Amino acid sequence: MSGIVNGIDTKSWDPATDPLIASNYSARKMAGKAVCKTELQTRMGLRVDPDAPLMIVVSRLTGQKGLDMLLPNLEGILRRGGQLAILGAGEQSMERAFVDAAAANQGSVAVHIGYSEPLSHAMQAGADAI
Q: What's the domain range around 72?
A: 49-126
Q: What is the pLDDT of residues 102-115, one digit of tens each?
A: 999 999 999 999 99
Determine, yes or no, domain membership for 97.
yes
Average pLDDT, the chain: 95
Would the pLDDT of 33 be above 70? Answer: yes
CATH number at residue 54: 3.40.50.2000
**Which residues are registered as beta bridge partners of 87?**
58, 112
Q: What is the pLDDT of residues 48-58, one digit of tens each?
A: 999 999 999 99
pTM: 0.92
Pairwise CA distance, residues 70 & 85, whole Å = 12
Pairwise CA distance, residues 44 & 13, whole Å = 20
Structural domain total, the chain: 1
Query: What pLDDT score does 41 carry?
Result: 99
Query: What pLDDT score does 4 carry?
Result: 62
Determine, yes or no, domain membership for 33.
no
Determine, yes or no, domain membership for 108.
yes
